[in-house]
Structure formats: structure tokens, C-alpha cells
Amino acid sequence: MIDATRTLAAARKIEVIMTAGIVILIGFACIGAVASVVSPTELAESIAHRAGYVTAPLVLWQSLALIAILGAHLALWLALLFVARRLFRQLRQGNPAAAVQSARWVAYLLWIMLAWGLASQALASVAATWGYPEGSRVLSIAFGTPQISVAFSALIASFMAQAFALGAELWQDHREVI
């Protein structure tokens, strides 16, 4: 007989980690929301500086654009963590068939994160450098280590979704035999 105790315990631990990640990201989102109301330009200049842009003073639309881009990143990460937590909860509860759908959503969200990461980099570079003199503005499009890491993660998640589907079928067959 198959003993799934260790797997179920590991799923519970990872579910707790995902919950902690959600709490931390919600905390950052709340801090960001307060900062965007209190001092949107200062927050946006900090975002631009951390992205590597020495900014001229930003106007309001540039600040709001950079804050919105960061907010979209946070929203995507939150969605990914919520779906991943649901995936591990379903595994812990012994419901592999439902976990298959969650695993597919994790893969889809990772592909969306990759596309958004590339698009947001271009949008952020334009917003951050719009105040530069003509000829000095930047449109940055790059495919580096972070994007390659997300692409590999998405590929692995896509494969894992297929493996979960096969595992769910085998688990169901095992239950029917016993």
C-alpha cells in the first residue's frame, strides 16, 4: 500500500510557506498604497532609482505609471501565491484531481508573469525617462537571467501540471482497486 504521509506533510508545510508569502506581500502592498497616497512622486522616484534610472523630477503621470506597474507585479505575485497555496491544500486534502487544475493555473500565471515582466520593463523605462531631454529617453527591452528563470519555472510548472494529471489518474485507479 502507498503511504502518502510524508507527501501530505510536505504539502502542508509548503501551504504554510505560501500563506506567509501572501501575508508578506499584502503587507508590502499596504505600505505601498499608503506611500502612494502620502508621497507618490517620492515613491516613484525610489522605484525608478532601484530599477537603475537616475530620474529627473517626475511628474504625476510618471509617478502613477510606475506605481501602477509595481502594483501589477504585486497583484500577479499574489495571484500566483494564492493559486499555489490552493494547489498544496488540495494535495494535502487528498484531492489530486482538483490539484491538476491549480497546477495548470500556476503554469499559466508563470507564463503571464514572464510576458508582463518583459512588457513592464519597457513601460517602466519609458515612464521613468520621459522627462529626460530628447535623445536621452530610454526604451529598455531585455531578456536576461530573471526572465530566463521565470521561463524555466513556467516550463517546469507546465510539466508538473501534466505529471499531476497522470498522478491523479493513477491515484484514482489505486483507490478503485483497493
Q: How far apart are CA 76 and CA 98, in angstroms?
A: 22
What's the half-sphere exposure (Cβ side, CA atoms, 13 Å) at 42? 8
Count of structural domains within the chain: 1
Q: Which three cell numbers stand for residue 86?
A: 490552493
Provide the domain limits for residue 91: 5-177
Q: What is the phi/psi pair of residue 134, to 5°? A: -55, 135
Sorting pLDDT into bands at 50, 70 and 90, what band is 170? confident
Straight-line distance from the first to the last Cα atom of the chain, in angstroms, rounded to the nearest whole number: 9
pTM above 0.85, yes or no: no
Is pLDDT of 38 > 90?
A: yes
CA nearest neighbour of 120 among 170, 43, 66: 66
